[in-house]
Amino acid sequence: MLVNVLIEIRNKKPGNIHLKGLAGSSKSVVAAKIFAALGGIHLFIFPDKEEAAYMYNDLVNLLGPGDILFFPSSYKRSIQFQQKSKSSIIIRTSVLEKVAAAPENLIIITYPEALRKHL
């Protein structure tokens, strides 16, 4: 399966890839293998913070922390409480600085609430 995925990725222009039937940490293993084989910049958006955190931890354990970044929300618990988290703002700034440096290889993991513009 993984060989077919790599061939498909190499034959297409950059875009979205959707894999079905993966459970547990198998998503992380496939992502790590693809990243190791192809490099480049990869963005993973998970439905919620918990799923994103699991993927982040799996990838750090598989690949090491060097090229893997977690992009959190700038709020402590939820945007509805309107309490900004200074540590999350620092992490967000660090991620954006690394992206701005135009690295060749990078994985960014996040979730919709973190991408939402906060007024």
Number of domains in the chain: 1
pLDDT at residue 10, rounded to an integer: 78
CATH of the domain at 48: 3.40.50.300
How many other C-beta atoms lie within 10 A of the C-beta of residue 99?
15
**3-state secondary structure at position 63:** helix
In a domain, 16, yes or no: no
In a domain, 19, yes or no: no
pLDDT above 90 covers a percentage of the chain that reads: 45
pLDDT tens digits, one per residue of 73-116: 887 665 555 677 788 888 888 999 999 998 999 999 999 999 98
Q: Which domain holds residue 79?
A: 2-11+24-115
pLDDT tens digits, one per residue of 29-70: 999 998 999 899 999 999 999 999 999 999 999 999 989 999
pLDDT tens digits, one per residue of 57-68: 999 999 999 899
Beta-strand ranges (E) seen in 8-92 are 41-45, 68-70
Residue 119 reports pLDDT greater than 60:
no
Taking the C-alpha atoms of residue 22 and residue 18, their distance in angstroms, rounded to an integer, is 11
In a domain, 17, yes or no: no
